[in-house]
Amino acid sequence: MSSFRSSKRKKSPSVDRFLNQRQSSPYRSNITSFLEPTGPPDRTYKVVFAGDAAVGKSSFINRITKGCFVENLSSTLGVDFQVKTIRVDERNIALQLWDTAGQERFRSVIKSYFRRADGVMLLYDVTSDRSYLSVRQWIQAVDDVSEKRIPIMLCANKVDLREEAIKKGTRCVSTEEGEKMARDYSAIFIETSTKSGNNVWDAVIQLSRDMCSSEDVEVQTSALQIRPNDKKSECCGVVLFSSSGCFIGEKKKAFINSPIHIGH
């Protein structure tokens, strides 16, 4: 496992908090914070669905956008795209849901979609040990192309099939194994069933909150870039940039004795 870990993946403060809260009744009551949007979106996020073929990515998106489960959905070829706007914590959030193919031959194409992703919904099938082991490679693919920590929600899907599969002698991935994988890679973990709808919205809401938190941190840590002293002048040129690197403006000051902060 360690051979696939990326040093770029930093701990998200919401990971352990979510693992603890999702078992308690207070967290379950927070699901009421999901409401229909009250207006145009305040924020738009690109969410890429990843995981091996047949783990339930298309069914997950179908459950979010249409509120139902459809048996025997055809496999996604390449990439599909849908939009769902929700209201979480008094914010209207538009989620661009990118459904990707899980087949090996599409991996190089799909990898490029992680580059500008705001969040990743990574699924595996609890009745498929192979799809669980592939999680390491999927996370590595995300880290290979990202310049920042991208929030990842690790979904152990198809939990409704686990009990019957175990009775038939099928090796199934346990809850403890899923939680360990999530902690190893600083992802958020949850068990879901797209067939029953269990925990689907919990996963969506928590990932949305984590994406909002990550964006807020980026805004708060906007930095100033200060030019070297001009040889023809004793004053310093101060160039202001936004968190996205866009030029804001320039001002001159004879002496700079303390840091300059831009409030948000």
What pLDDT digit, counting tens, does each position of 155-186 carry? 999 999 999 999 999 999 999 999 999 999 99
**Least confident window among 75-84, 131-140, 221-230:** 221-230
Span 121-148, average pLDDT? 96
Percentage above 90 pLDDT, the chain: 55
**Spatial distance between the Cα atoms of 215 and 212, rounded to a whole number of angstroms:** 5
Q: What phi, psi does 226 have (nearest 5°)?
A: -105, 125
Contact between 158 and 193 under an 8 Å Cβ cutoff? The reply is: yes
Span 192-213, average pLDDT? 96
For the chain, give every domain's residue range: 2-219, 224-253
Q: What confidence tier does 31 reach under pLDDT thresholds 50, 70, 90?
A: low
> Higher-confidence residue: 148 or 217?
148
- Residue-level pLDDT at 106: 65
Kindly report the average pLDDT of the chain as a whole number. 78
Question: Within 10 A of 89 (CB to CB), how many other CB atoms are there?
Answer: 12
Tokens of 257: 């004795």
Span 219-234, average pLDDT? 49
Q: What confidence tier does 219 reach under pLDDT thresholds 50, 70, 90?
A: low
Q: What confidence tier does 146 reach under pLDDT thresholds 50, 70, 90?
A: confident
**Spatial distance between the Cα atoms of 176 and 161, rounded to a whole number of angstroms:** 17
**Spatial distance between the Cα atoms of 62 and 74, rounded to a whole number of angstroms:** 12
User: Is the per-residue pLDDT at 23 higher than 50?
Assistant: no
Q: Looking at domain 2-219, does it have CATH number 3.50.50.60?
A: no
Task: Say which DSSP state 89 is in.
Answer: T
Q: How many CA atoms lie within 13 A of 86 on its CB side?
A: 22
Span 34-48, average pLDDT? 91
Residue pLDDT, tens place only, 95-120: 999 998 867 666 777 888 999 999 99
User: Is the per-residue pLDDT at 209 higher than 50?
Assistant: yes
Q: CB within 8 A of 28, min separation 6: which ones?
A: 22
Q: CB within 8 A of 177, min separation 6: which ones?
A: 132
- Residue-level pLDDT at 101: 82
- Residue-level pLDDT at 26: 37
Q: What confidence tier does 221 reach under pLDDT thresholds 50, 70, 90?
A: low
> Higher-confidence residue: 204 or 246?
204
Span 136-156, average pLDDT? 95
